[in-house]
Structure 1
Amino acid sequence: MVVLVVSMSLITRIILTVKSAPAIDFTISNLTGIFIIGLFYDLVNSAYFILPLMLYIWLMPARLMQKRWQLILLNGIFAFFIFGLLFNIVSEWFFWDEFSSRFNFIAVDYLVYTNEVIGNIRQSYPVEAIVAVLLLATAIMVFLLKPVIKSAAAYSVAFKSRSVWMLGYLIILLASYFLVDNKIKQFSDNTYINELSGNGLYELFAAYRNNELDYAQFYQKIPDQQAFRMIREQIKTPESHFVNNDPFSIERKIINTGAEKRMNVVLISVESLSADFLGVFGNTQSITPNLDSLATHSLLFTKLYATGTRTVRGLEALSVGTPPTPGQSIVRRPKNEGLFSIGRVFKEKGYQSKFIYGGYGYFDNMGYFFENNDYQVVDRNKIAKKDIAYENIWGVADENLFTLATKEIEKTVSSGKPVFAHIMTTSNHRPFTYPGGRIDIPSHTSREGAVKYTDYAIGKFIKEAKTKPWFKNTLFVIVADHCASSAGKADLPVNKYLIPLLIYSPGNIKPAKMERLMSQIDLGPTILGLLNFSYTSKFFGYDIFKLEEGRERAFISTYQSLGYIRRDSLVILKPQRIVNTFIPDFKDGSSKPAKSNSHLTNEAISWYQTASYQFKNKLMK
């Protein structure tokens, strides 16, 4: 079984290496790392993998091992595990194709939301044909292994001797659990090489163990008092002042002059909308004609960076305005109720705040999070079957979502209240399916088609909104939740985190370009600033129009690597208290190591450390 596990892991590594060849430098040191470190992880993974078989052989009396039914059972066990290993090869291929990574945090989440994920896989790939081929391959392999299995079963070992072997095995297993982690493979600056050096099944196990990361335990720290002293200095802006002298508080009063503008706000967070999909950012495929047209009539932000690589990370940034904390998004964490959110600010101003989603709200805990943070949740359950023109496993088609959103907006406006509607799209997601006849790219062919369909749906929504009486008093905000892909040679390729932001409101917002560096967490305070709202804030974000020149910064992250962009530098914080500084190329995403600057490093630490401290100690409520 160990030979099978290691052999199939090697085959997987070779396949993925060939697939990733354009991104790899085939040097002796890189190839040695990929295959020697890889072999080490394959052996560690096999130690876990064989546990059920080891227990079975240890406890089964020797006199029964050569019984016919026993041999049939052993062949069945091998068939089960061989099929699993073959299925894993295919799964890793498709996961790598999507994320350029071994199984990770995302895969753990996928195991939780099996309905959506299995549905997505069945709609995206020819699952039945793949399974049939794997079953045939399994049958052939088991047939070839039958003599070996029979011979092994004939080897009789007394229970006492078996127990000695079992004890030795358990010592190895426990040593692997306590002494080995997935950091050993981090030997290269090229993330593809590091990922290839790992083992997919082991990475899945490691990701499950590290589902949440305590910043104070795993990351570089400075004294909490110093961190909060620094953050209070950095977070203060001309229009704000702190409400108290509590050294661990960031609560401050935001005072904007002039009359408050009680405009409706429609915030559309678009699934996986990288900036480089848009023509205004240089794309030549003409897949966003509506957004490109809107951009010329909008306030267009050209240097906005997403905080993370998942929808929940984007929703976290847009709703509670905090830097990404390591591990799981706050949207998915326990004890995330009653947080200070943009929904609360609008609610206190007399608005009705709504989160409108085309899928089921239970997915990724979105429904619970928004329901418990001053939003009303409106999801797929609110749409009658007859009103759904098209749907896939993730949700209804975006045009059906916008029809629902229009009804919800009008319901609130007709009641005499202004509305804050946060709409979350789903169509730009594998399997990239959508209604036919809308655009010139057939459904289920490419991400570009999904982007163009979402663009079509947004254009249709804005066009129909123009006929409504509430249009003239509405601020339309269109932003991505995150980029389509964050993979690159660098750990955090900055170009992959650039997302578009358009604020559109003819007669209220003059078309212009905002070209200052900006984080996704700054969007909430900036919207509230455009409305001239005065309020008490616990946001970490800035109103970019009130912020003095030169103070801009942005945050980018994976679930473990925390990046801080300041001017031309990128500081990355990692577990095991690792801190590295780079000079990033904002066009191609590459990074060159740079000499560390203690003040810049402490600045980066202060943002992430205080954000984690605030959530852990319930100071975001």
Structure 2
Amino acid sequence: MTSANYMKNVPTISCFDLIGRTIKRMIVLAVSIGFLLRMVLAFQVREDLNLLYLFKLSVLGMINDSSLTLIACLFLGLQVLGVSQIKYKKPWGYLIFGFYVVLLLYVLFFHTIFHEYGNVVPTIAQGFFLYKTVSFGLRLFIPHLRSTWSYVVYVGIIFLYAVVLVQFVALGEYLFWDEFGVRYNFIAVDYLIYTNEVVGNIAESYPIKTILTGVVAVAGVLTYWVVRGTRTAFEQPMESKQKISVVLGYGIAVAVCIGVLNYTTKFQATDNVYYNELQANGGYKFYQAFKSSRLDYNHFYEKLDEKQAQAIVNTMYSSTGMKNIQTIVDTLPARKKNIVLITVESLSASFMERYGNTNQITPYLDQLAKESLVFDNLFAVGNRTVRGLEAVTLSRPPSAGESLVKQENNADLFSIGKVLKNQGYQVQYLYGGDSYFDNMKTFFGGNHYEIIDKSSLESSEITFSNIWGVCDEDMFAKALNIFDDNSAKGKPFFSHIMTVSNHRPYTYPEGKINIAGDAQSREGGVKYTDYAIGAFIEQAKEKSWFKDTVFVILADHCASSAGKASLPLERYRIPAMIYAPGFILPKEEKRLVSQIDVMPTLLGLLHFSYESRFFGQDIYKKQYQERAFLATYQNLGYLENDILTVLSPNRKVEQFKVTVPKEGVEYHMEKQTKLDEALVKRAVANYQVASYDK
């Protein structure tokens, strides 16, 4: 039978009919897979679920699956709506094609905004515009390809949907449930951030080639079931009235589905966790986890009796009650010096000559360390800027999931800013970028900081900027002017500056250091930031307020967090120093210190008396006991007595004996077969109490 005769025998449908037909099949497919998955998971916990529960969760599950699937069909609908002959007619076809050609040439041969994000993003942009230009050009100049091309794209989209349903819904949720006993949560969001580690773990744990082959095969069969009989639709594009009706109808349906998904969450609040989780839709749970950005410590981690945990914390910190309240009393009068806190973006200790680097990329900081109280054994709490900001601002162990900086209800917390404001200080946060990024504006504004960011600078004050904001020199220059104004008001000031230049794409003004700005190298970013800090300090020395100012300089986190261990200590070791010539004598502090201890130690050096709820401690108080906190999004670490205790979801607890090799900076970590229960309790108590004590 010829192709023409075959087409005559195939029932014809239009693009208008195609949308409804495809959405129905996608919903049937998603609901079927969702039902089978629920039954498989339910029978793993069958002792907790009766037949009535099974019926209820199945009905609610089908409603949730249908609603999310209809919303997810947005991209499919846009592709079908785009099928048209009008856009190829003169002059529109040539104008559109010319527009794509110009965009392609622009991204191929000019420096664009995409280059501000590193090397990968420009390549992606170039590939995308190349595809759009070639695909539109072929359809414009070879008309008989148009319907076939649209059909192939349609089939490709359906295949991607099928892969997602098979791999990430059916298989992915089964494996996630098998390990954690719940639907997707923030741990799954965490997996998106640590893609290399997760993919490597999967590759080592499962026959990945066999699994992928199976996924592709099953997705191919499902795709055929959805698309069969739809080829002729692309010969009949929708009319304008039909497109309008589809857009209006789909918009109303999506609004209803969003309402349904939000409404059905109220049925997921019973005492039966399995019932709550099984009726939910994994994709929507993932969205909720991404939005809330937190893990419930009490649900996922090892815990103690609440009173026992609080008693351990009270003993460690000489505190009272359930709020870790400490009364700090100094026998000497307070010295209300100005405080300038500089948190440096991605500055690993390993970048400094002091800690073994031979490339001389931090000459100023290395010299400044010799003139400062320098902490040589200090560890960051995390591996993102918001973790460092959380540590120095709130002086508490890192929260499970996302940092408190990015969580909701994070206003009016007990912070270093609050303590100093109560002492009569002006309190400010200075950031060279847009402070809405990473929720900084909401967090610092909600905790009574005056925010000064890129928007506060006049155009004449900006000599260089990239996607992250103005260069560090520009922000430091702005800071000097602000500090002059602060000083004129006659009140002490606390100003927290966050640098930005040591961040990909590592661009900065030319002629400042001996590494070209367009080289976009990490070493260049480090050296330029070092140069900018040096220039800032030297200019500050000429100011009248300098002699009454203490400078605290430390990293927010290391440049990289990847390592052989889940919490590789060498990837958390950061430089930190307190510089105040004539007030704080140079000293090398070799004891173990946590990032959360730096600001309470400074308050001690200034002889402040205050009521505290900090977990961070003044390391020069006699009750101080060396320990450090460090974490990823889900692994919570506690280091004490050369034992690293790691708390993980599923109430998993591990301990490692830590030793530093004589050569190199990589810490050797030997897993312990027998746990030190006292250290486990101290680790658990700190994180457990911190999880509910705000």
Normalised by the size of structure 2, how large is the TM-score?
0.64
The residue type equivalent to 1:469 in the other structure is S
| Separation (CA, whole Å) in 2 of partners of 1:446 and 1:195 | 32
The residue type equivalent to 2:312 in the other structure is M
Determine if contact 1:254/1:535 at 8 Å carries over to the other structure: yes
Q: CA deviation at 1:282?
A: 1.0
Q: Of the candidates 176, 180, 184, which is equivalent to residue 176 of structure 2?
A: 180
What is the CA deviation profile of residues 218-260 of structure 1, one whole-angstrom value per residue up to 9, with x for unaligned ones? 1111111110011101112xxxxx4xx53x1211110112121
The residue type equivalent to 1:596 in the other structure is L
Q: How does 1:69-468 map to 2 (within 5 A)?
A: 120=117, 125-132=122-129, 173=169, 177=173, 180-181=176-177, 183=179, 193-194=200-201, 208=290, 211-236=293-318, 242=319, 246=321, 248-444=322-518, 445-468=520-543
* Change beyond 3 A, Cα 1:421–1:210: closer
Q: CA deviation at 1:591?
A: 2.3
| Separation (CA, whole Å) in 1 of partners of 2:71 and 2:336 | 67
The answer for the alignment partner of 1:569 in structure 2 is 643
| Separation (CA, whole Å) in 2 of partners of 1:368 and 1:147 | 47
| Separation (CA, whole Å) in 1 of partners of 2:327 and 2:633 | 32
* Change beyond 3 A, Cα 1:124–1:178: closer
* Change beyond 3 A, Cα 1:596–1:210: farther
Determine if contact 2:432/2:469 at 8 Å carries over to the other structure: yes
Determine if contact 2:115/2:122 at 8 Å carries over to the other structure: no
Determine if contact 1:489/1:590 at 8 Å carries over to the other structure: no
Determine if contact 1:191/1:489 at 8 Å carries over to the other structure: no
* Change beyond 3 A, Cα 1:547–1:196: farther
Say yes or no: does 1:599 pair with 2:674.
no
* Change beyond 3 A, Cα 1:197–1:261: same
| Separation (CA, whole Å) in 2 of partners of 1:495 and 1:523 | 19
Determine if contact 1:569/1:584 at 8 Å carries over to the other structure: yes
| Separation (CA, whole Å) in 2 of partners of 1:316 and 1:584 | 26
| Separation (CA, whole Å) in 2 of partners of 1:343 and 1:193 | 42
Deviates more, 1:594-603 or 1:431-440: 594-603
What is the CA deviation profile of residues 485-530 of structure 1, one whole-angstrom value per residue up to 9, with x for unaligned ones? 1001111101100000111111111111001101111112101001
| Separation (CA, whole Å) in 2 of partners of 1:557 and 1:121 | 27
What SS does structure 2 have at the residue aligned with 1:180? helix
As a proportion of its length, which structure holds more helix?
2
What SS does structure 2 have at the residue aligned with 1:604? helix
Q: CA deviation at 1:148?
A: 13
| Separation (CA, whole Å) in 2 of partners of 1:509 and 1:288 | 22
| Separation (CA, whole Å) in 2 of partners of 1:138 and 1:583 | 59
Determine if contact 2:83/2:150 at 8 Å carries over to the other structure: no
Q: CA deviation at 1:405?
A: 0.9
Determine if contact 1:191/1:488 at 8 Å carries over to the other structure: no
Q: CA deviation at 1:401?
A: 0.5
What is the CA deviation profile of residues 171-229 of structure 1, one whole-angstrom value per residue up to 9, with x for unaligned ones? 9957864763595899xxx8773265699999987973883100001111111111001
What SS does structure 2 have at the residue aligned with 1:423? strand
What SS does structure 2 have at the residue aligned with 1:266? strand
How many residues get paired? Answer: 493
Q: CA deviation at 1:540?
A: 0.6
| Separation (CA, whole Å) in 1 of partners of 2:649 and 2:561 | 20
The answer for the alignment partner of 1:99 in structure 2 is none
Higher radius of gyration, 1 or 2: 2
What SS does structure 2 have at the residue aligned with 1:556? strand
The answer for the alignment partner of 2:549 in structure 1 is 474
The answer for the alignment partner of 2:609 in structure 1 is 534
The residue type equivalent to 1:511 in the other structure is P
What SS does structure 2 have at the residue aligned with 1:536? strand
The answer for the alignment partner of 1:64 in structure 2 is none
| Separation (CA, whole Å) in 2 of partners of 1:171 and 1:389 | 49
* Change beyond 3 A, Cα 1:146–1:483: same
| Separation (CA, whole Å) in 2 of partners of 1:476 and 1:531 | 13
What is the CA deviation profile of residues 455-476 of structure 1, one whole-angstrom value per residue up to 9, with x for unaligned ones? 0000000000011111111111
Deviates more, 1:301-310 or 1:194-203: 194-203
The residue type equivalent to 2:569 in the other structure is V
Deviates more, 1:438-447 or 1:192-201: 192-201
What SS does structure 1 have at the residue aligned with 2:688? helix
Cα RMSD between the aligned structures?
Answer: 4.1
Determine if contact 1:496/1:589 at 8 Å carries over to the other structure: no
What is the CA deviation profile of residues 271-327 of structure 1, one whole-angstrom value per residue up to 9, with x for unaligned ones? 011111111111100000110111111111101110011111111110111100101
Structure 1: runs of 5+ lacking an equivalent: 1-46, 60-68, 74-115, 154-165, 237-241, 616-621
Question: Could you tell me the percent identity over the aligned residues?
Answer: 41
Structure 2: runs of 5+ lacking an equivalent: 1-64, 85-112, 140-144, 156-161, 181-187, 192-196, 213-281
The answer for the alignment partner of 1:65 in structure 2 is none
The answer for the alignment partner of 1:505 in structure 2 is 580
| Separation (CA, whole Å) in 1 of partners of 2:81 and 2:552 | 65
* Change beyond 3 A, Cα 1:386–1:553: same
| Separation (CA, whole Å) in 1 of partners of 2:72 and 2:472 | 51
| Separation (CA, whole Å) in 1 of partners of 2:129 and 2:135 | 10
Q: CA deviation at 1:121?
A: 5.1
Say yes or no: does 1:609 pair with 2:688.
yes
| Separation (CA, whole Å) in 1 of partners of 2:448 and 2:653 | 37
The answer for the alignment partner of 1:560 in structure 2 is 634
What is the CA deviation profile of residues 29-80 of structure 1, one whole-angstrom value per residue up to 9, with x for unaligned ones? xxxxxxxxxxxxxxxxxx99x9679979x99xxxxxxxxx99979xxxxxxx
The residue type equivalent to 2:176 in the other structure is V
Normalised by the size of structure 1, how large is the TM-score?
0.71
| Separation (CA, whole Å) in 1 of partners of 2:202 and 2:465 | 35
| Separation (CA, whole Å) in 1 of partners of 2:543 and 2:291 | 51
The answer for the alignment partner of 1:588 in structure 2 is 666
Q: How does 1:49-64 map to 2 (within 5 A)?
A: none
